[in-house]
Amino acid sequence: MIQLTELDKFIESRFQRVFLLKGIHLTINEGEFLTLMGPSGAGKSTLLNILGLLDEDYQGTYSFLGKDIRAMKAKERSNLHKSEFGYIFQAYHLIDELTVYENIETPLLYRNVSSSDRKSIIAELLDRFKMVAKKDLFPAQLSGGQQQLVGIARAVAGKPRVLLADEPTGNLHSAQAKEIMEVFQELHREGTTIIQATHARENADYGTRLIQLIDGRIDSDEQIA
Amino acid sequence: MWKNYFKISLRNLQKRKLYAGINLLGLTLAITSFLAIGLFIHHEWSYDRMYTGSDRIYRINQEFTMGGESQLASTSPSALMPTLLEEFPEVETGTLVFDLSIFSSVMIDAGTGNSEENKFAYVDERFFEVFDFRLLAGQPGRILSEPNQIVLTENTANRYFGSAQNAEGKILKVEGKDYLITGVMENFPSNSHLDFDFLASFKTHRHGREPAWSPSNYYSYVKLKEGADIADFQAKLPAMIEKYLGADMREYGFSFAFFPQPVTAIHLGNQSLNSIKPGTDIQYLYIFAVVALLLVVIGVINYVNLATAEATERHKEVGLRKVMGAERFQLFGQFVAESMVLTAAAVGLSLVGIYLLSEPLTGLVGFKISLDPLLSLPGWMGILLFVILIGLLAGIYPSLILSGMRPIQALGNKVKIGSGAWVRKGLVVIQFFFSIGLLIATLLVKDQLEYMQEVNLGYTKERLISINFHYNLIPKAEAIQQELVRTGSAETIALAANMPVHVKAKYSIFPGGDNDREVMVTGYAGDHHLLKTAGLELISGQDFSETDMMRNQQADTVSGYPILLNETSVKELGWSVEDAVGKKVNFGGGTAWVKGVVKNFYFNSLHHQVGPMVIFLNPDETNVMLIRIPAGDPSAHLASLGEAWKTLVPDRPFNYQFVDQAYAQQYRSEEKVGILFGVFSGLAIFIALMGLFGLVSYVALRRTREIGIRKVLGATQTDVVGVLAADFFKLLFLAALLAIAVSWWFIRSWLQGFAHQTAVEIYPFLTAILLVLLLSVLTIFYRSWKVYTLNPSKTLKND
């Protein structure tokens, strides 16, 4: 589904180029649950941003379902971004001014989903993540684990094919982290492609493939269980 | 989607209370001023448009030329209207209005004793055909068609009889004569140039029964037929003048011309023309319109500045929304919606504000500001359009900045709104340019107003009162004068044609004693106490004496009667102050000799130079009694004068006016402008300072870390304030330079309207700039102090 060829990303400083990613070759198939690991600064987040179409400043080619992203029109790319990707962040990044319900609703609004459909989708998600009672609360009133559940609900609300998660459990303690990973596993079983970046080796065990990044290069690439 | 936008806007405003508060208050103040000024201008603009076919109604003004000098007047002879009605087929109808108040007040008695009334006019029976005011009682065709009929306004009817129905058919005594009340009309609206309490039938008046071509004391209004051309009508007037006045004009060497003026142009038109109600100089409407716009711009700039500055705080939200698939135009919509919500709230508050302010403002603007023009369908559409326009104006730039952020940047903490900085700086310069400029203008206008109050007028306006003096009382004048002086509450008393504040009667003087050379002068009639009472200074010759008074009455034609000249007269007649005394002249149709010369005094508003004047003895022209009261508490003297007056003149109330107040009255419109300028420049500065406060807060916030580091390195509070203030001072300096230039230009052109101008001094400029600077320093100081007191260990932890 995803094909990266000779992908470089660098920043020009005054005297030299600093490569954040160098010579990345990567193919990701639909239905994989892939974990990116590596020390800080290895390029995990950079790679996730490029995969998620949030960063278009790179060299090399990125094709999605056989189409070169670069060759697409802005509108096409934007539609792809909306329909195929969901994002989960380490710091949850919920909108503080919106309730749980409204946070989950936001991506649907931008997808022009009708009001009644929105209601049923959100009801289903709230039910699934056991947050019905909390739907009118604001993010500040929730625990970190609960906020991240809302973040996941929001990410999957638009039924994306690919879920991108950058250190989704980085701010959580182990029990909450376990809960989140179990949710990922379940989504994966339902057919969602998941790409996560993490520091924690135990999180990788929920997935099907593990890639180690060091200094912007792929150091190892292995299938798990 | 929009529902969602509005919900988010409201929550955002709730959350950022300081930011929302500054913006809301700033916009509300600006919009309140804007709407109030707008309503005022609308009111002034709407004058005399309420009559049916008001675009076909004209007042006939008259130009009278004699001896090379011409005078434009708004009144015309009583024979004009009947002639126009008879000989001009294009005239549909017309009416004549004789405003008695320019001559004297009227005593009215409804059976409960005399009271003095001023708004009294004689009008002919066609008045309501031209000005179709509503009648609450009476038959339109029947009222005012016979002598001794009178129509009251609703308020007057209520005042005297309790109700309109009660008044109809009753008898009202006017100066002792019976008038039958045949009708009651609605009150004259505040935007009509006509304003009376009593309309009596013109047939009562001698010239109503026998129209004549002299005198020219009557306002004539014609209503042309639909489709008639005013230019054609005007072109036919000279032939009519020739027909009726040609022979007289040639014999006496004068000439007449008539100029129709649209009734709708009276209020804002030529202000030197006499009118029933003081008009408004259109120049001031333009000035106020500009001020209104400036205030709104200052309010909008606040919003733009704060909203862009605030963008840094909202980058996370923007980034997230982009990641979740928001298109740029959707985000743009959200932020514009936010500014519109705020604008709409501000407009709502402004409407409430105006409603609450309309009562206290009535005195200042001269009428009750009504929201009615806004509460109609076009009014609502206008408000909606205004909200959208201001919302867009305020929202468009911040929205572009916010919606244009790249999501990755926005989500990280790397946002620098550097590119917008110069826009914000430019806007701050504009704001302070406007507010400093307004403040300088206010101070300069105030200077001129004070100058006019303090300038040496040549007479003493303090402790001088004036009582309307009816000609019936002239035979008793001597006795009244003596009695009032005897009580000790009056130092001196004089009879005069007018207060010295404004003397207008024009006379001709022929210096050679023959008809060779003619000089137009202002004539001031009075008695031999006038100089002493008014405090006029004699610089050569002698004052009038009691003997002059007596001889005057015996019409001693051989030696002629004595007159006094002012300095300008002497100069225009080509004499010196010393050798003028004793010269013989031909004045007012008789021989006169110059008995003395008085120092120039201002007998007209300071818009004009002191013209030539002749003071002469003629108690028959008396309209006022001038009384100089002793120093000390005036109320005690007034009370004892009132007592004495009541016994001497039982049938006329003791109605007095202070001359210094009458003098100040002349500058009402300037004073109003002064006050309003003060209020608006205060508001402008306040709004701009709030914006500065917000902006400094934002800068301080953004530089918290820098300040933390500086503090760790040993910076004192003054250093920190300096760091923050330096940037703003550069902007204020630039704004001050612009403001000086523009206000200098403004005041030069405004002062052109005054013959006597105060010197433009440096201190208003300095005061304004220093004041704004000081307030800005305080604002910046307060804000940076808050940042300075933060613990560096906290501020340095982030990032």
Residue B287 lies in a domain: no
Which two structure tokens, joined as six digits, stand for B709?
């580091």
Instruction: Please report which residue ranges of chain A form alpha helices under DSSP H.
Output: 44-51, 74-84, 100-110, 115-128, 144-157, 174-189, 201-204
The answer to whether ipTM exceeds 0.95 is no
Alpha-carbon distance of B603 to B30, in angstroms, equals 41
With b meaning 16 or more CB within 10 Å and e meaning fewer, what string describes B300-320? bbbbbbbbbbbbbebbbbbbb
Cα–Cα distance, B119 to B105 (Å, whole number): 8
Residues from chain A that touch B407, judged by Cβ atoms under 8 A, are 54
Of B221, B386, B364, which is closest to residue B292 (Cα–Cα)?
Answer: B386
Bridge partners for A163 per DSSP: A86, A194
A158 to chain B: which residues are within 8 Å by CB?
325
CB B110 within 8 A of CB B173: yes
Question: Of B534, B552, B555, B556, whose CA–CA distance to B544 is shortest?
Answer: B552
List, in order, residues 6 or more apart from B546 with CB less than 8 Å away.
B528
Based on the fold, state whether residues B647 and B690 are members of the same structural domain. no
Q: Where are the beta strands (DSSP E) in B88-246?
A: 91-99, 106-109, 114-117, 120-123, 135-137, 149-153, 171-174, 177-185, 198-201, 219-224
Is there a contact between A110 and B15 if contact means CB atoms under 8 Å apart? no
Number of domain units in chain B: 3
- CA angle, residues B373, B266, B382, in degrees to nearest 5: 20
| Chain A residues contacting B via beta carbons under 8 Å | 49, 52, 54-55, 78, 81-82, 87, 89, 93, 95-98, 102, 105-107, 109-111, 154, 158
Same domain flag for B86 and B218? yes
Q: Which of B359, B294, B388 is nearest to B37 (CA)?
A: B294
Q: Is the CB of residue B184 less than 8 Å from the CB of residue B175?
A: no
Q: Is residue B345 part of a domain?
A: no
Residue type at position B790: L
Backbone angles phi, psi at B524, to 5 degrees: -120, 105
If you measure CA to CA, which chain B residue comes closest to A49?
B408
List the one residue out of B690, B778, B741, B14 whose CA is nearest residue B301: B690
The verdict on residue B437 lying in a domain is yes
pLDDT at res. A34: 94
Helices H, strands E: what count in chain B? 25, 24
B723 shares a domain with B618 = no
| Residue B432 and residue B527 in one domain | no
Last residue of a domain, one of B641, B664, B687: B664
> What average pLDDT does range A38-66 have in this prediction?
88
Backbone angle region of A53, left / alpha / beta, with phi > 0 → left and psi within -120 to 50 → alpha: left
B27 within a domain of the structure (yes/no): no
Whole-angstrom distance, CA of residue B753 vs CA of residue B248: 38
What torsion, rounded to 10 degrees, do the Cα atoms B594, B600, B602, B608 define?
100
Cβ-based contacts of A49 with chain B (< 8 Å): 408
DSSP letters of A30-67?
TT-EEEEE-STTSSHHHHHHHHTTS----EEEEEETTE
DSSP string for B723-768: HHHHHHHHHHHHHHHHHHHHHHHHHHHHHTT-SS-PPPPSHHHHHH
Please give the distance of CA B232 from its chain centroid, rounded to a whole number: 35
Indicate if B551 and B434 belong to the same structural domain: no
Alpha-carbon separation of residue B44 from B37, B189, B192, B261, B740 (angstroms): 11, 12, 10, 17, 31
Q: Which amino acid is at B132?
A: D
In a shared domain, residues B566 and B683: no
Query: Residue ranges per domain, chain A?
Result: 31-56+73-223
Cβ neighbours of B15 in A, within 8 Å: 96-97
Whether residue B527 is found in the same domain as residue B650: yes
Q: In sequence order, which ranges of B366-504 are alpha helices (DSSP H)?
A: 377-403, 407-411, 421-454, 477-486
Q: Of B622, B648, B664, which residue sits at a domain end?
A: B664
Within 8 A of B12 by CB-CB distance, chain A residues are: 97
Answer yes or no: do B576 and B639 share one domain: yes
Spell out which residues of chain B touch residue A111, defining contact as CB-CB under 8 Å. 325
Average pLDDT rounded to a whole number, residues A154-158: 89
Residues in chain A: 225
Tokens representing residue A75 in the block: 């509108």
Torsion sign over Cα A170, A172, A178, A180:
negative
End residue of a domain, out of B634, B664, B694: B664
Residue environment code for B196-231, b if the CB has 16+ CB neighbours within 10 A, otherwise e: bbbbbbbbbbebbeebebeebbbbbbbbbeeebeee
Give per-residue pLDDT as tens, B413-471.
554 555 566 777 888 888 889 888 888 888 888 888 888 777 788 888 888 998 888 77
Asked if residue B499 is part of any domain, the answer here is yes
Is residue A91 within 8 A of residue A171, CB to CB? The reply is yes
Taking CB atoms and an 8 Å limit, are A95 and B408 in contact across chains? no
Give φ, ψ of B122 to 5 degrees. -95, 130
Cis peptide before B215 (omega within 30 of 0): yes
Q: Are residues B196 and B124 in the same domain?
A: yes
Nearest C-alpha in B relative to A105: B4
Smallest CA–CA distance, residue A216 to chain B, in Å, is 19
Do B647 and B671 reside in the same domain of the chain? no
Do the strands A209-214 and A33-37 form a parallel or antiparallel pair, or are they unpaired?
parallel
For residue B29, is it within any domain?
Answer: no
Segments forming the whole domain that contains residue B534: 464-664
- The verdict on residue B623 lying in a domain is yes
Taking the C-alpha atoms of residue B297 and residue B304, their distance in angstroms, rounded to an integer, is: 10
Block means of pLDDT (10 residues each) for chain B, 799 residues, are 76 80 89 89 91 94 77 88 93 93 80 85 93 89 88 93 89 91 93 93 90 87 94 93 87 85 91 80 86 89 81 76 82 85 91 88 78 84 90 84 72 55 81 87 84 81 85 82 84 88 78 67 88 90 84 64 90 86 82 89 81 87 87 85 85 82 77 81 85 77 72 73 78 89 87 80 87 83 74 58
Instruction: Indicate if B789 and B709 belong to the same structural domain.
Output: yes
Q: Is residue B312 part of a domain?
A: no
Mutate to test the interface with B, among A109, A113, A162, A164 (most CBs of B within 10 A): A109
Q: Given this model, what pLDDT does residue B189 score? A: 92
The total of other beta-carbon atoms located within 10 Å of residue A220's CB is 10
CB atoms within 10 A of CB B491: 16
> What is the architecture of the domain spanning A31-56+73-223?
3-Layer(aba) Sandwich (3.40)
Residues B425 and B522 in one domain: no
| Candidates B16, B19, B323, partner chain A, best to mutate (most A CBs within 10 A) | B323
- B15–A97 CB contact, under 8 Å: yes
Q: Which residue of A has its CA nearest to B331?
A: A110
Determine how β-strand B519-526 pairs with β-strand B613-617: parallel
Using CB atoms within 10 Å of the CB of residue B797, give its burial: 0 to 12 exposed, 13 to 18 middle, 19+ buried.
exposed
pLDDT value at residue B645: 86
Residues 6+ apart with CB under 8 A from B316: A93, B410, B411
CB contact under 8 A, B324 and A107: yes
Q: Give A11-41 pLDDT, tens digit per residue.
A: 887 778 888 898 899 999 999 999 999 988 8
Residue B731 Cα distances to A23, B307, B405, B424, angstroms:
51, 19, 27, 10
